[in-house]
Structure 1
């Protein structure tokens, strides 16, 4: 049996990475781990603030699933070289192939429209968690470190969700 793959989706909030990550998880029948879900659960369970805990939980869950032979799709901003290195270590420990996928939206107006639209979706807000607003995304830009390791880059600015998923499969060398 081939070893499972670890797909790590990275990028600023509102670029479309969660939509792509969910679709890839369904397509590959993989475990789907979203750091926003983990952080929301921690906040709603009584944590006053969440910093590294969400990522730590996600690393552990990813490794558990990889060791079971399941492909894993991780969905997170992954802004730091430190977090990227941690994902690489998870893949190494599990004997899995790591596929880093950075999702960007090069059209600033479109990116802002998506971020603003997330605030209008009722299902996006949990009692103590909500997605970042545009100012929060801009703050993330300043903290987002330049990639120094290989990754696939997908710009979602001008494609439909279906076109962007087809482009992702193409980047992965698969037919949709």
Structure 2
């Protein structure tokens, strides 16, 4: 199965992805560390490293699916092209794809989490609240089904909700 996390930076998708990965014994392929690794390797930030990181994440997820294992992709997935990339990957492997969008309905909580987080991804600056607000306006409407989680709920509850959906999807 391919599980695709989506949502704005700081909304809580990585926390859900990490705990879900632990519960399922599934690897989590995260786009941000991939992009940071490109920069550390000398690829300039003026290059389309965001797009390239999605392509690398797809190749890694493809390899995991080829082993008949579940994989979780952790990325913003704000545009339809990114979402279609994951649907196509799942179709090539004949596995279900489940999209999980994580939102934070409390703007003050979202901002506090974003400004207080330190993921320690070497070379990857945390986005500012202004960047997140701009990304919000660029977030494309969804054209396909997805599970929406509110990170105001705690991670164990949200993971339990995802596990319930996965049982129905398999």
Superposition deviation, residue 37 in structure 1 = 1.0
Q: Which of 15, 34, 41 is residue 37 of structure 2 equivalent to?
A: 41
- The 1-side partners of 2:132 and 2:120 are apart by 16
Higher relative contact order structure (alpha carbons within 8 Å, sequence separation ≥ 6)? 2
Structure 1: which 5+ residue stretches go unaligned?
A: none
The structure 1 segments of at least 4 consecutive aligned residues displaced by more than 4 Å after TM superposition are none
1:14 matched to which residue of 2? 10
Q: Which of 140, 156, 168 is residue 162 of structure 2 equivalent to?
A: 168
Return the TM-score normalized by structure 1.
0.88
1:63 matched to which residue of 2? 62
Q: Partner of 2:101: helix, strand, or coil?
A: strand
Superposition deviation, residue 169 in structure 1 = 2.7
Alpha-carbon distance change, 125 to 51 in structure 1, aligned in 2, over 3 angstroms: closer
- The 1-side partners of 2:100 and 2:41 are apart by 31
- How many residue pairs match? The answer is 165
Structure 2: which 5+ residue stretches go unaligned?
A: none
Return the TM-score normalized by structure 2.
0.91
Cα RMSD over matched residues? Answer: 1.5
C-alpha contact 1:38 1:58 (8 A) present in aligned 2: yes
